[in-house]
Amino acid sequence: MNAKSQSRLIELRRDLHERPEIGWREFYTTGRIVEELEAIGPDELYVGREVHREERLRPPTDDQLESARERARETGVDENVLSKVEDGYTGALAVLRKGEGPTVLLRVDIDGLPQSESDDPDHLPAVEGFGSRYEERMHACGHDAHAAIGVGVLEAVKESDFAGTFKVLFQPAEELGAGAASVVGSGHLEDVDSLLAVHVGLDVETGVVYPGIESFLAVNGFEATFEGSPAHAGNSPHEGANAVQALSTAVGNLYAIPRHGDGATRINVGEIEGGTATNIVPESASLRGEVRGTTTELREYVADHAERTLRSAAELHGCDVDVEFGDGTPSCECDDALVDVVSAAASGHDTTVTPDEGDALGGSEDATRLMRAVQRNGGDATYVGFGSSNPTGHHTATFDVDEAVIPLAVDVLTDAIRSVSTAE
Ligand SMILES: [Zn+2]
């Protein structure tokens, strides 16, 4: 790609990096992306609510929306865009109609994380003056670079010989495991023949390309609330039913769920709460955790065991328990034909194409919902990873991407998308 577009994309990435926003509250982010998209001039542009169906996962509270709106206004968001996203349906979808041919969708995510960014003098964003302006807000997963890549590919495909329909989805709320779910059923996926989702970083150096990542773990969250009965801890402990005791029994046994011979599983209890005073047998206690598996079936195996463990622990201590699982994200499979197209495109550039990503990724991704939806309709999907020499791991305060990945990813993805149209 030419130097001018390249420096514009890096400028965009840095601007977003400096103003990270949490899922469903990407107001400035959406506004800034829309500004870039309008300059390119897609044939159709959908913003905010127009990208999603109404029911969505983990919506923000009114207070969260209010303070995010205020911050976006202070930052200088386009009021026109704000009016389309202010209820918390964020993100955008640009469409190019370039005649007869397949429909290809590129999905990038755009949200930041609720953590503070390092101001260490070795941390490049701090040195160059584009570190996060906000406490407890950071682009610590590279979604700022993803947004820039999405804009770059749209422009490059527009100027190319691609024939067909090309869409770029700037998806919100990936870190909440929520943003993809309401795009499914929005009407924007039904005609998609090929879907490419993308991630940079991945703790490998710039130039490494994974054309088909399948090692994302299926994940689901759960919450359990134990209800016992209170009593004086000194004179009548026998009359109480101790909810904290039931919870503790459950936690120990959740980690004792047997491993499964078919693949990796995970369980974690990440938050607990309970009791009111040292001299009262605690009446209620709650925990929040998550289960994962290399396949959706393995995740369900852990979930079933976890539910039985929670119920048994409650019964053992004479308590009741309410167990609720959320709407998790599934595992995924990439389609060989599309993986081959991406491999061939990457081989034409200064890259090391690595077909097997091992199981180094260990995380989860809600793009798997979009992939499954497209595959259910008979389309192909793949998840492409671009290494980007990150100094420290994802979701850490000193995470950063090597910006050289932006033009490289734009070039490789554009070539892959052009090949899809000529292969039809
Ligand atoms: Zn990410």
Q: Strands 380-387, 208-210: parallel, antiparallel or unpaired by DSSP?
A: antiparallel
Cα(109) to centroid of ligand 1, in Å? 8
One fold for 3-216+330-423 and 219-325: no
* Per-residue pLDDT reduced to its tens digit, 7-34: 999 999 999 999 999 999 999 999 999 9
Q: Where are the domains of the chain?
A: 3-216+330-423, 219-325
pLDDT value of residue 362:
64
Q: What sign for the dihedral angle of Cα 122, 125, 130, 135?
A: negative
**C-alpha to C-alpha distance for 201 and 210, rounded to whole angstroms:** 11
CA of 283 from ligand 1 middle (Å) equals: 39
The pTM of the full predicted model, rounded to 2 decimals, is 0.90
What is the spatial distance between Cα 136 and Cα 113, in angstroms, rounded to a whole number? 8
Q: How far is the CA of 215 from the centre of ligand 1 (A)?
A: 14
Ligand 1 center from residue 335 Cα (angstroms):
22
Centre of ligand 1 to C-alpha 104, Å, is 22
Q: Are 110 and 168 in contact (CB under 8 A)?
A: no
**How does DSSP assign 59-114, residue by residue?**
PPPHHHHHHHHHHHHHHT--HHHHHHHTTS---EEEEEEESSS-EEEEEEE---BS
Ligand 1 center from residue 306 Cα (angstroms): 27
Which residues of the chain are modeled with pLDDT < 50? Answer: none
Ligand 1 centroid to residue 247 C-alpha, Å: 32
* Cβ-contact 281, 241 below 8 angstroms: yes
Burial class (CB in 10 A: 0-12, 13-18, 19+), 64: middle
Q: How far is CA 273 from the centre of its chain?
A: 27
The CATH fold assigned to 3-216+330-423 is Aminopeptidase (3.40.630)
The three-state secondary structure class of 45 is: strand
How far apart are the CA of 95 and the centre of ligand 1, in A?
24
Listing DSSP states for 103-120 in one string gives: EEEEEEE---BSSPPP--
pLDDT at residue number 152: 98
CATH top-level class for 219-325? alpha beta
**pLDDT at residue number 355:** 83
Query: Measured in angstroms, how far is the CA atom of residue 142 from the centroid of ligand 1?
Result: 6
CB 327 within 8 A of CB 181: yes
Q: Which residue has the tokens 């209820």?
A: 87
Distance 184 CA to ligand 1 centre (A): 19
Q: Tell me, rounded to whole angstroms, the distance of Cα 55 from its chain centroid.
A: 18
Going from the Cα of 124 to the center of ligand 1, the distance in angstroms, rounded, reads: 19
